[in-house]
Amino acid sequence: MSRMAKYAQIIWPQPTDGDVLARNHAVETLISELSELTTRQAVEAADSIAASLVGGELGSLLGPKAERAISAKSAAFVLDGNELQAVICLAVASLVLVQNEPIENDSWSPADALAASLWSALTFQDQLEHPKMEDLRKDLIEACRTRVREVAHASRQRHDVPDVGNLTIPEGDVAGSRANTAYKRATAPVIKALKDNQDLDREELDFLWWALSGYSTLLEVPLSDREPFCRAVASGLEGATLLRRLPGDGFRHVVLRGVEKTDGRKLPGLVGELGAEREGLGNQFDGSWCMQFPCVFPLITTLVSGKAADGCTIEFDARDWGARALLEASIVAMEGRPAGVA
């Protein structure tokens, strides 16, 4: 199946079969490269891809990978002056990866991190002028949104607890360790299922008590005492810290249950709405690794710095800003869990 057929005209007005086949090979190589990133690198990759779609540079993580992948079938290719080809191949590779990579039990694989981060970054961009590039951006957003929702649901399914397996002690094992090794092998699936279920139970209990309290530990006031924009952002940031998996629709609905619809605000307008509370909301992220990736974390980086990036005309109402706060903070929280690999 051709990965590039739909998007090749972004690069060439009239692409040839050879052009498409060569870039298909590059995409397949990049799918493998992206799947081998750490989760932290996957967030960096998403930030780089999103920035490059609007004219930024690919950076040292992805630039060399893309150049090698493309030049393998196009010996004359160099990245300098041909960044568009590289970013399109990377974007298509990301699209295929988030669509096809199996969902793992720990719910935070490189594909999951890439999907959540691209969803965050690309939904904070204005529409692209090139119609086929905009199609690619929209396809990526939909694929990433779909994967995050599927991961959020699948990773919260309780495990059936199996019976303890048979104790089998191989003849060749050292005598002193045979029983211990056999016992661990027989009980490992049971213990893992119990621990995973306990983790999900703990998440639900913590989240439920927080929701019932209606109190903001960030602001040290009841959430109902604050205006909608402040209440929404605080709820999203705090709700994310209690989650053990990526947020599903149900968690978002609970986070936003007390936030009414409002008029839209651009990011600078949101900073004005938050006023003096902005610093308190951003303090927990000051100095954090996420500050290196403003495309993935536009809200968080603005809460910390107090300065909104220029250029984006996106407007959100209070509920949408709360949903964005939940998504951005959930990526930070997931990367801080043991499954996150820095």
Dist CA 216 CA 235 (whole Å): 7
Model pLDDT, residue 312? 72
Dist CA 335 CA 255 (whole Å): 21
Model pLDDT, residue 68? 96
Model pLDDT, residue 3? 84
Nearest Cα to Cα of residue 237 among 149, 335, 327, 305: 327
Model pLDDT, residue 341? 37
Nearest Cα to Cα of residue 236 among 101, 69, 157, 120: 120
Dist CA 259 CA 255 (whole Å): 8
Q: Which residues does 75 contact at the CB level (< 8 Å), separation at least 6?
A: none
Burial classification of residue 71, based on how many CB atoms lie within 10 Å of its CB (0-12 exposed, 13-18 middle, 19 or more buried): middle
Dist CA 331 CA 326 (whole Å): 9
342 residues of the chain, pLDDT tens digit each? 578 889 999 998 888 899 899 999 999 999 999 999 999 999 999 999 999 999 888 989 999 999 999 999 999 899 999 999 999 999 999 999 999 999 987 679 999 999 999 999 999 999 999 999 999 999 999 999 999 999 999 988 766 666 565 556 565 555 545 656 666 666 666 677 777 777 887 888 989 999 999 999 999 999 999 999 999 999 999 999 999 999 999 999 999 998 999 999 999 999 999 999 999 999 999 999 999 999 999 999 999 999 887 667 899 999 999 999 999 999 999 999 864 433
C-alpha separations of 147 from 42, 115, 122 in Å: 15, 7, 15
**Per-domain residue ranges of the chain:** 8-154, 214-336
